[in-house]
Structure 1
Amino acid sequence: MSTVADELAALTPKPDTDPYNKGRIDLTPDGAEISNVTVDKPIHSDWTPVFALFNLDASVFEVVDDTVRMSTWQQSARAKDGDRDLVQLYSYSARFRRKPQGRLPDTEIEKRRKAVRSWKLPTRTRRTRPGTPVTAVVNLADIQGGKSEGGGVAATQQRLLDGLANVDQWLDRMARDHNITELIIANNGDPFEGCAGNYASQLFTVELNLRGQMNFVLDVWELYAKTLFPQFERAQFVSVLCNHTELGRFGGPKNQTSDSDSGGAFLAETLRRILSARPEFDHVQWSIPHDQMNVYTTTVGGVRLGFNHGHKIAGNDATGFTKWLDGQVRGDLDAHATQVWVTAHRHHFQAFDLGSCSVFQCPSLDGGSKWLRDMTGKYSRSGILAFLANPASPLGWSDMAFL
């Protein structure tokens, strides 16, 4: 008489008696590798039975050509009635890559671009008022256009449109108490995502190809410039070099020529060419680096500003920045003379006072990082950092806002 335990034991496969449905799989961010997976039916093109052994979805993987190895043999196996029979077994080893996520179709891309180009605020020219001239500084950091995380391109576009409306409202509030005569729009780096090389799964997650990403950024920058620059007597566009827009070859993440080979710098120069042909932008000054990581400018009131992306700064928080700045001043007197530093790269807002200068680390405009949240639980809010470069303030700035 058999017991329930006996019946369960009979149904449970044992390594020494179950000759198939076993093997090994190694997962990586780029794909997977199966080793000695044994099944009782041949695999032709559908690898679903193999991935099902590991509770994985075969539809997200595709086999890498010429990596399939297989063998077959007959083996004695015990049937349910106790008799023994011969079964044909098949063993496979192969490498797989993750399939790219679907790129946005051309119709969707054109729809997005049309929405950006047609978005408008009421045309206005801001009037100056008595008082010390101050400069409004608007920082567009880590847009990473084309990234799929956080809602993808559609959500990034909406954040940028909402951000422009928020900036306009903030300028209205600031104009009640300050004589804003100048506006700086800063590209603080990583305006587009890139397609490969910055991290393992990048190629498989972006929604726009490189051409689409660069057009997206140019549309957004042009919208901000056309909306905001004509409102002020003086204007500046400041751009920095960064890591995600380095123009590497063969999909590599690093420049193969020099630091000047920057997609972000190219887009800044392209924007300058577009706007320089129009008289309403004759008053705009441009700070576009060649291969310099630090970019400096002086505001209408004489406040000295320094910008960089921050990917060359080792360490975090005030300690890391202080160590970096101490080294910079050995060969760059402008670094020490700077009153307000603006960086980005680390995707979250920080601010600290170092005595000789104040430092702002900008939040990002992208949709966040799933990897960072999975690894650490940390996350940050997207937004635009804005402040007034104010010579009347002891720190050289006032009225900082997270928009």
Structure 2
Amino acid sequence: MPVPAMSLTTDLQALLQPAGEGQTQPTQIQRPQAAAPRGWETGVRYEPGGTMVVTAPATEQPPNSEQDWRERVEALGLAIPEGFRVRLTEARHDPAAWHRDAQGDDAVTRPVWRCRYVIEPAAPAWLSFGDVDSLVRDAMRRRRKPRAALETAERALVVVYADAQAGKVGRDGGTPELVARIAERFDRLDDHIRDLKTVGRAPTAAYWADAGDCIEGFENTGQQAFTNDLTLTEMVRVHRRLTFEGLDRLAGRFDRVVAATCGSNHARVRRGKDAVGPPVDDWGIEVLSQIGDAYARNPAAYGHVSFVMPERWRDTVSLDVAGTVVGLAHGHQYPRPEKAGDWWRGQTFGRQPVADAQILITGHYHHFRAQQLGNGRLHIQAPTLDNGSDWYTVRSGEVSASGLLVFSVGPEGWDDLRIL
């Protein structure tokens, strides 16, 4: 219903008249107090689990004791639950905060303390079940849950054959010593496979990863012409027969075997020190290709063995090993072993074969090294199988220990890494 115009005019005139005796004055407008700095506004924030974060009003006196903390929090009207405590988490001194002591007074500056507290359980939740001794005792006495059966899960054995450099003569001998050393490592490989079966982690497939430098060559350094004990074709022949032996041992024990190799510096076909042809012009890649041709002639015995080699203009490969992408590179692509991570990251940006690898296997630097990189990636640098790098020992005093590196890959990642 509309209000009559006369009524509105009368009410307006009444408001404009001076207040008579006993008439209540209109409430005086409150001037705003100084706002607290951002983030220090008085209030309470409730966290999961019942914890409260309390920002108290500024005070002139600093907090002195736990009782003082409690009183300042309770002054806000908060009740401290039983079993909870008040803890000071932050105290900040403001030397020039401004105030207005009384309504209408001018603002003045005065130092104050701004404090933040937390109301939390007096003890961690797990302590409610007993003391530390009982906690550890109960955890150690618990019964282990039976391991879930993984009937279809693949466990793969990876054998890394790196830097044999057939034909090289060094402190540990020449070709006879190299062949004997590798034969002894193959015997240790048989023992390792048996040990994995004994502990219930028997592999269901095997991967032969040749990390390069299978032969010494003649074009890498001038001394090779005087220190090698084999001709170039003999180096290739020795490497081929050693690889045949290693793959035969795996082929006779596993229903699936994958053999892979990569390009390297010693095995690269060269004229002088210059590489000839594309990256796949490599004696190690050629030898694995020869073995693949030979196995193809007898599918009844070797039909379960497959071969992986780099593309024509690449010198690295990647394999799907039991659901984990494993990359294989020689390692001569970067100047120092510490640079492996930088090189690998660059390969990822360049979408090269090892870009998606979760595990990267390399050789070249003749000593074992393992390093976790990024989010769950692993670089494994394999030890050498050769007769020793005397030039490096003379220069640095370091001596590389020979060995055949093995590890397993399963549904939960890699394990059982050993140097045989």
TM-score (norm 1): 0.64
Q: Is the Cα–Cα contact under 8 Å of residues 347 and 362 in structure 1 kept in the other structure? A: yes
**Matched AA of 1:376:** S
Q: Secondary structure at the match of 2:194?
A: helix
Q: Secondary structure at the match of 1:285?
A: strand
Of 216, 224, 237, the residue aligned with 1:193 is 216
User: Counterpart in 2 of 1:57?
Assistant: none
User: Counterpart in 2 of 1:155?
Assistant: 177
Tell me how far apart the structure 2 counterparts of residues 186 and 336 of structure 1 sit (CA, whole Å). Answer: 18
Q: Secondary structure at the match of 2:204?
A: strand
Q: Secondary structure at the match of 1:133?
A: coil
Shift of 1:230: 2.3
Cα distance change, pair 267–334 in 1 and its aligned pair in 2 (3 A): closer
User: Counterpart in 1 of 2:8?
Assistant: none
1:313 matched to 2:330: no
Tell me how far apart the structure 1 counterparts of residues 227 and 294 of structure 2 sit (CA, whole Å). Answer: 31
Shift of 1:304: 0.8
1:339 matched to 2:361: no
Shift of 1:263: 1.1
Q: Is the Cα–Cα contact under 8 Å of residues 317 and 353 in structure 2 kept in the other structure? A: no
- Cα distance per residue 1:314-340 (max 9 Å; x no partner): 3323xx112112211112165342111
User: Counterpart in 1 of 2:415?
Assistant: 398
Tell me how far apart the structure 2 counterparts of residues 333 and 211 of structure 1 sit (CA, whole Å). Answer: 32
Instruction: For 1:149-188, list aligned pairs within 5 A.
Output: 149=170, 150-176=172-198, 177-188=200-211
Shift of 1:253: 2.7
Tell me how far apart the structure 1 counterparts of residues 189 and 179 of structure 2 sit (CA, whole Å). Answer: 15
User: Counterpart in 2 of 1:236?
Assistant: 258
Q: Is the Cα–Cα contact under 8 Å of residues 136 and 183 in structure 1 kept in the other structure? A: yes
Instruction: For 1:130-149, list aligned pairs within 5 A.
Output: 130=151, 132-149=153-170
Q: Is the Cα–Cα contact under 8 Å of residues 246 and 254 in structure 1 kept in the other structure? A: no
- Cα distance per residue 1:323-368 (max 9 Å; x no partner): 1122111121653421111000000000011134111000000011
1:275 matched to 2:298: no
Tell me how far apart the structure 2 counterparts of residues 201 and 334 of structure 1 sit (CA, whole Å). Answer: 35
User: Counterpart in 2 of 1:368?
Assistant: 388
User: Counterpart in 1 of 2:346?
Assistant: 327
Q: Is the Cα–Cα contact under 8 Å of residues 331 and 363 in structure 2 kept in the other structure? A: yes
Q: Secondary structure at the match of 2:294?
A: helix
**Matched AA of 2:191:** Q
Identity level (%)? 27
User: Counterpart in 2 of 1:260?
Assistant: 280
Instruction: For 1:2-401, list aligned pairs within 5 A.
Output: 130=151, 132-149=153-170, 150-176=172-198, 177-194=200-217, 196-249=218-271, 252-278=272-298, 279-289=300-310, 290-299=312-321, 301-317=322-338, 320-332=339-351, 335-354=354-373, 355-392=375-412, 396-401=413-418
Shift of 1:376: 1.0
Tell me how far apart the structure 2 counterparts of residues 131 and 246 of structure 1 sit (CA, whole Å). Answer: 41
Q: Secondary structure at the match of 1:329?
A: helix
Q: Secondary structure at the match of 2:340?
A: helix
- Cα distance per residue 1:213-236 (max 9 Å; x no partner): 011001101111112212111110
Shift of 1:130: 4.9
Cα distance change, pair 256–248 in 1 and its aligned pair in 2 (3 A): same
- Cα distance per residue 1:140-196 (max 9 Å; x no partner): 1000001111210011001110010001100111122214110011111011111x2
Q: Secondary structure at the match of 1:190?
A: coil
- Cα distance per residue 1:263-311 (max 9 Å; x no partner): 1111110011111111211011210113312200102x21110000000
- Cα distance per residue 1:91-125 (max 9 Å; x no partner): xxxxxxxxxxxxxxxxxxxxxxxxxxxxxxxxxxx
User: Counterpart in 1 of 2:13?
Assistant: none
TM-score (norm 2): 0.61
Q: Secondary structure at the match of 1:337?
A: coil
**Matched AA of 2:350:** G
Alignment: residue pair count: 267
**Matched AA of 1:192:** I
User: Counterpart in 2 of 1:105?
Assistant: none
Tell me how far apart the structure 1 counterparts of residues 213 and 303 of structure 2 sit (CA, whole Å). Answer: 27
Deviating above 6 A after TM superposition, structure 1's stretches of 4 or more consecutive aligned residues are none
Shift of 1:257: 2.1
Q: Secondary structure at the match of 2:189?
A: helix
Q: Is the Cα–Cα contact under 8 Å of residues 246 and 253 in structure 1 kept in the other structure? A: no
Cα distance change, pair 247–333 in 1 and its aligned pair in 2 (3 A): closer
User: Counterpart in 1 of 2:85?
Assistant: none
Unmatched 5+ stretches in structure 1: 1-128
Cα distance change, pair 322–261 in 1 and its aligned pair in 2 (3 A): same
Tell me how far apart the structure 2 counterparts of residues 227 and 203 of structure 1 sit (CA, whole Å). Answer: 34
Q: Which has the larger radius of gyration?
A: 2
Tell me how far apart the structure 2 counterparts of residues 141 and 227 of structure 1 sit (CA, whole Å). Answer: 17
Tell me how far apart the structure 2 counterparts of residues 215 and 333 of structure 1 sit (CA, whole Å). Answer: 31
Q: Secondary structure at the match of 2:155?
A: strand
Tell me how far apart the structure 2 counterparts of residues 377 and 218 of structure 1 sit (CA, whole Å). Answer: 33
